[in-house]
Amino acid sequence: MIELGHFAAFLALAAALAQGMFGLMGQRRMAGLAAYAGFAVMILSFVTLVVAFARSDFSVALVANNSHTLKPMIYKIAGAWGNHEGSMALWCLVTLGFGAAGALWMRTGRDLFEARALGIQGLLAVGALAYLLFASSPFLRLDPAPFQGAGLNPLLQDPALSIHPPMLYLGYVGYSFVFALAAAGLMEARVDSVWAKEARRWSLAAFIPLTLGIALGSYWAYYELGWGGWWFWDPVENASLMPWLIGAALLHSVVVTEKREGFGAWSALLAVLAFLFSIMGAFLVRSGILTSVHAFAVDPERGMLLLFGLLTYGGFALVLFAMRAPKLSGGKPWMLLSREGALMANNIVLIVAALTVLLGTLFPLMAEAAGRTISVGEPYFNLTFTPMLALLLLILPVVQAWAWGKADLKNWSKWAIAGGALALVFLALGVGLWDISIGAALGLALGAWLVIGALWELKRRAITPGRIFRLPPRVWGMTLAHMGLGLFVIGAVVETTGRYETTVALAEGGSGTVAGWTLTLDQVRAIEGPNWYADRAQLTATRGSAKAIMTPMKRYYPAAQMPTTETAIHKTGTGDLYAALGEQRMVDGAPRWVFRVYYNPMIDLLYFGVILMALGGAFSLWPRRKA
């Protein structure tokens, strides 16, 4: 059956080629049909791959290397994209999917532009499919077929991780279509309001899943790795953060293009960069040139091919940009202190922030080339990225009220007083009552500043309270996103400054304490699952009258010969009590079990904030009601 998938992928390649040709020739209708056809056959191809995984067909090399009969069905299916080749098939599927979606939903009334956008999307799909078919084919057979597969990396056998890659890819690859729109716009030297309306929708369509994908990955790392934290500044995490930052900049810049016809060249450049950074993310992860805690399959040759793709796409787009950018119109005039100026500042800060992340991620490589082994960790990012973010958040509530063209600045003293008062209140509370550092107190003030500012802006736009629910969805989207950002900041500051952690080695019946909770080890039992066995500890956690049973596990997967940590998390209402079981240790001849125990306050608020940001994006995507 897998041959059918292989054949279908070749058909998809042919369709993508046709899409590219018709598109660049300006045949909108034909390019659209080719896009539908390509997507349809790629679905067929991908489904045969998934079926091979679901049926544990070990005559397919990829299945044999990454699956196992004892795996639960959901992980057999998710296993189809839990490896390099399968994830590249997913990449192709999403590329073609965005082409088909574009053919269906683009509404600019400009046939040539739309045809070219589809054409470029088709060529991007050709690149992806060629890489899939000739450099990382998931369709190869094994002869003889083994009786049993090698199993999926047990760390990936997790519900959040089954949807994390598709989400992330919807985001990464979503920017391919934004790239195509930018290139098509540059080709006709027309990056104007109509272009921006279209580009904005597709940027949102990529930004929302990218946001959720990053959050899912972070949440997975939080409970599956057993390290108690939610962000580790790992190169792979940074690789997803950079397109996100550029995507966020793009969302703000494209609004100026839409409403005022300004920033056209800049928006097009960001659209190109968002996709290039997405490919760079794939390159950094797949090539193995960076040391990362995410142990992915590593292959320098494939890395070189990805680098080649990155340079080809990047070279093409940047040359096109250099040729056409001077011809783009500058839009309506504006003063520096205006909404345009504010959004420009937003963009500069976001891009500089992305550059600091890029430097921190690539610096170890440069140092290695210079013969020194160096790693860059959290302190670097706290010192460089955090001030940039703080600057952005500081100006946000003030400048979002500014008008196009020229801001009315008569309220600035009120803003300054309100902001100053808020900072003083939090400083007094933080240092006097909560006993936290000045930096943390200011961080909390900043988060509150954002939330209040977002609500204030909503009220200002509504003019009268009764009109709040009749505001356009995108105003709500902006409010939710900015509020989400504020809640995320509050959650992040509270979690980082208020986290307690301790390590205890307990004999059965022994107990330890963290953040006022007493944890008593009742027993440790050996249990068995479908494809693993485990030591499961039962802890009783008590604090005053509150009581909870926690059962952290140490699982062992025989197929992969690998242990994993299954943390136990008790939601206390204000935070997470979090326990990870470690190894058994012989201390003075008696066995003890070692536990890493954390109290992570308000961590849910942090994730809630991120979800609110994604929800805000969804609202912004919602079309305005026709009056």
Partner 1 sequence: MRARTRRLYTFGIAALLLLAAAVLAFFALRENANLFYTPEILAEKGQPEDGKVVKVGGWVEPGSLAYSEDGATMIFTVIDNSPHTIRVSYTGIAPDLFREGQGVVATGQFGPEGAFTARQILAKHDENYQPRELKPLDVAG
Binding stretches for partner 1 (CB under 8 A): 153, 155, 226, 291, 293, 295, 330, 333-336, 344-345, 348-349, 352, 355-356, 359-360, 363-364, 367, 372-377, 379-380, 383-384, 387-388, 503-505, 561-565, 580-583, 585-588, 592, 594-596
Looking at the DSSP bridge assignments, the partners of residue 537 are: 524
The nearer residue to partner 1, 459 or 585, going by C-beta atoms, is 585
Least separation in angstroms between residue 77's CB and partner 1 is: 22
The nearer residue to partner 1, 333 or 420, going by C-beta atoms, is 333
Looking at the DSSP bridge assignments, the partners of residue 565 are: 554
List alpha helices for 67-158, DSSP H: 73-78, 84-105, 111-135
Bridge-based pairing of strands 517-528 and 533-543 is antiparallel
The nearer residue to partner 1, 165 or 171, going by C-beta atoms, is 165
The nearer residue to partner 1, 44 or 594, going by C-beta atoms, is 594
CA of residue 567 relative to chain centroid, distance: 23
Distance from C-alpha of 574 to C-alpha of 532, rounded to nearest angstrom: 33
Least separation in angstroms between residue 201's CB and partner 1 is: 27
Distance from C-alpha of 316 to C-alpha of 275, rounded to nearest angstrom: 13
Least separation in angstroms between residue 273's CB and partner 1 is: 15
Closest CA to 568 of 582, 578, 560: 578
Least separation in angstroms between residue 592's CB and partner 1 is: 5
Closest CA to 334 of 393, 395, 259: 259
The nearer residue to partner 1, 435 or 588, going by C-beta atoms, is 588
The nearer residue to partner 1, 26 or 582, going by C-beta atoms, is 582
Distance from C-alpha of 463 to C-alpha of 85, rounded to nearest angstrom: 54
Least separation in angstroms between residue 295's CB and partner 1 is: 4
CA of residue 586 relative to chain centroid, distance: 42
Least separation in angstroms between residue 403's CB and partner 1 is: 15
Contacts of 511 (CB under 8 A, 6+ apart): 518, 519, 520, 521
3-state secondary structure of 598: strand
Least separation in angstroms between residue 128's CB and partner 1 is: 26
The nearer residue to partner 1, 195 or 334, going by C-beta atoms, is 334
Contacts of 149 (CB under 8 A, 6+ apart): 56, 58, 63, 64, 65, 66, 67, 68, 69, 559
Distance from C-alpha of 204 to C-alpha of 208, rounded to nearest angstrom: 6
Q: What are the Cα distances from residue 470, in Å, to 181, 253, 516, 613?
A: 32, 25, 48, 21
The nearer residue to partner 1, 348 or 475, going by C-beta atoms, is 348
Least separation in angstroms between residue 428's CB and partner 1 is: 29
Distance from C-alpha of 603 to C-alpha of 208, rounded to nearest angstrom: 21
